């Protein structure tokens, strides 16, 4: 795996990746804010077929837009990030789909979960994003999005960022990327 924008502090063990994010980091393109940010931390590997990526994570979110989760990326103009984003003092399930312009959807979480499980699955031109808010719950659909089927491999992995604050700590556990044959 390789970093796009390596964080100032991180460690990897057999099951966990601990990250402390840098301040002023984010992924966003144009919509509403009229700026482009491609400075978030993204620890990724390449895959050229349909896949399922899963991870369990927890963060010490404290500042506006602190975020962590999974990402799939073709290039700086085409990517999806999903996970938790901290907004107005509350954790939100979040999905940003970017095809030249970013869009953003959130589900506010009244009670912050101890951990979040994410599953991001690519089937041809569709990305299925699913989540579970504890270790025993079944995955629920958060979003189904179109994503172009490229002729080059996609980058898939964990992402985190701190657009407004001084950085925060996040722990990713049991990250897996499972390819499966295209139909």
Contact, 139 vs 53, CB < 8 A? no
Q: Please, are residues 84 and 93 in contact by the beta-carbon 8 Å criterion?
A: yes
* Domain boundaries defined on the chain: 2-11+21-168
Whether residue 141 is predicted with pLDDT greater than 90 in this model: the reply is yes
The residue to which tokens 């940010």 are assigned: 37
- Fold of the domain built from segment(s) 2-11+21-168: Jelly Rolls (2.60.120)
* pLDDT, position 112: 93
Residue 182 has pLDDT above 60, yes or no: no
Band of residue 181 on the pLDDT scale cut at 50, 70, 90: low
Confidence of residue 48 (pLDDT cuts 50, 70, 90): very high
Q: Percentage of the chain surpassing pLDDT 90?
A: 89
Quick: pLDDT tens for 67-109. Answer: 999 999 999 999 999 999 999 999 999 999 999 999 999 999 9
Give CA–CA dist 130/174, Å, rounded. Answer: 16
Q: What is the mean pLDDT of the chain?
A: 95
Q: What is the pLDDT of residues 145-177, one digit of tens each?
A: 999 887 889 999 999 999 998 999 999 999 999
Give the tens place of pLDDT for each residue, 107-135: 999 999 999 999 999 999 999 999 999 88
**Quick check: 72 and 79 in contact, CB under 8 A?**
yes
Structure tokens at 30: 């144009």
Q: Is the pLDDT of residue 38 over 70?
A: yes
Contacts of 134 (CB under 8 A, 6+ apart): 113, 114, 115, 117
Nearby residues of 80 by Cβ (< 8 Å), 6 or more positions away: 71, 72, 73, 95, 96, 97, 98, 120, 127, 129, 145, 147
């Amino acid at each position: 795996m390789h970093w796009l924008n390596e964080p100032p502090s991180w460690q990897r063990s057999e099951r966990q990746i601990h990250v402390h994010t840098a301040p002023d980091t984010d992924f966003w393109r144009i919509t509403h804010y009229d700026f482009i940010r491609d400075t978030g931390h993204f620890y990724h590997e390449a895959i050229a077929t349909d896949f399922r990526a899963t991870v369990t994570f927890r963060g010490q979110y404290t500042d506006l837009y602190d975020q962590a989760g999974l990402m799939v990326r073709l290039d700086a103009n085409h990517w999806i990030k999903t996970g938790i984003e901290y907004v107005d003092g509350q954790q939100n399930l979040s999905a940003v789909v970017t095809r030249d312009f970013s869009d953003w959807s959130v589900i506010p979480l009244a009670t912050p979960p101890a951990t979040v499980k994410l599953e991001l699955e690519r089937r041809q031109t569709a990305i299925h994003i699913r989540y579970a808010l504890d270790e025993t719950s079944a995955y629920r659909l958060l979003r189904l999005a179109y994503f172009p089927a490229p002729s080059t491999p996609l980058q898939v992995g964990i992402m985190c960022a701190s657009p407004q604050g001084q950085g925060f700590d996040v722990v990713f556990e049991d990250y897996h990327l499972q390819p499966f044959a295209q139909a």
